Structure 1
Amino acid sequence: MLKCDKFSQMEKFLKFLKTESIGGHVIRFSLAGLLLFGGFTKLILVGALGHNLLGAIVIAAIETLAAFGLIIHYKRPEMGLAGAALAILAIIIRIIYSLNYVKESLTQTDSFLSAFATFLGLYNNGLFHIILLIGAAIYCMGNSYKNYFRNRLTQPWPH
């Protein structure tokens, strides 16, 4: 009876690991999709509105490379690491761009502190999404880091 109980506990644990793995795939592909969509639309919208086209191209390139790095993670975890680092960079750039937009367009002051207060008041739901994106990027970075070292440890030693 005791062996059967241990087997059922192990079965529950393995189901939990499978659920965690599926959740990780959803997080990785969702972040890659958001970055890819954000990269292409930023290139189109910012350029079409007559803003800094070169800046839009750079941001779109960073977000697109991050998305591809996150997807290539399954073949090369070091590319997943690079993609996650680029994703964090792209999210930080989005925050700075948003704060600058609020500062120049809405508050019309020189203070980022007043722009941040306005940003919190107006875009609190957007701020929640930004925090989720950063969390997803950190998760992807940790997962890629873990897989990179797992692959390095299981490879044969050079002779």
Structure 2
Amino acid sequence: MEKFLQYLKTESIGGHVIRWSLAGLLLFGGFTKLNLIGALDYSLFWAVLLAAIETFAAFGLLIHYKRPLIGIVGGVLAILSIFTRLVFSINWVKTNLLQTDSFFNALNSFLGIYNNGLFHVILLFGAAVYCLGNSYKAYIRERITQPWPH
């Protein structure tokens, strides 16, 4: 009964929704990034590397329930992949829409045109930071409650 009452808390349910949604998005992005980056004329190496980072991040976020240390690694990889996705998006705006060499002009256009997309990127960063902190908290709790070594 106590376990059932634990999952009735709104914060707990919200945390599970955030973790599973971010993992699903990263897993989906990890597998489709091969096609998307290939379509944007980036090299296959970067496509495979970004897909691997996003896929490992998703699995790390989901394995958090068994091994919080792997959840921490998944959270760090999630932040890295979201940042990388943001840089690739700004670079795409720079080369394809503006056709300029100025990264600052591309950033200004990106903020002006894609402000809704930027809002989603900020939400993804927030979700990744939440998952990272939650995994770190679980790791510390696990380390504190372990028996003292003899």
* Fold-level similarity (TM above 0.5): yes
5 Å-filtered alignment, 1:27-106, equals 27-47=18-38, 50-106=41-97
Distance 1:64 1:29 in 2: 13
Corresponding letter in the other structure for 2:54: E
* Change beyond 3 A, Cα 1:74–1:16: closer
**Partner residue, 1:133:** 124
| C-alpha deviation, 1:15, in angstroms | 7.7
Contact 2:7–2:13 (8 Å) recurs in 1: no
Equivalent residue of 2:25, what SS?
A: helix
* Aligned alpha-carbon RMSD (Å): 1.6
Q: Which runs of 5+ in 2 are unaligned?
A: none
Equivalent residue of 1:51, what SS?
A: coil
Q: What is the number of residues matched between the two proteins?
A: 146
| C-alpha deviation, 1:137, in angstroms | 0.3
| C-alpha deviation, 1:17, in angstroms | 7.2
Distance 1:146 1:102 in 2: 38
> What TM-score, normalized by structure 2, do the two folds share?
0.92
* Rg (Cα) greater in structure: 1
Runs of 4+ in 1 over 4 A off after TM superposition: 14-17
Q: Which runs of 5+ in 1 are unaligned?
A: 1-13
Question: In the alignment, which of 2, 7, 16 is matched to residue 25 of structure 1?
Answer: 16
| C-alpha deviation, 1:16, in angstroms | 9.7
State which drifts further: 127-136 or 107-116: 107-116
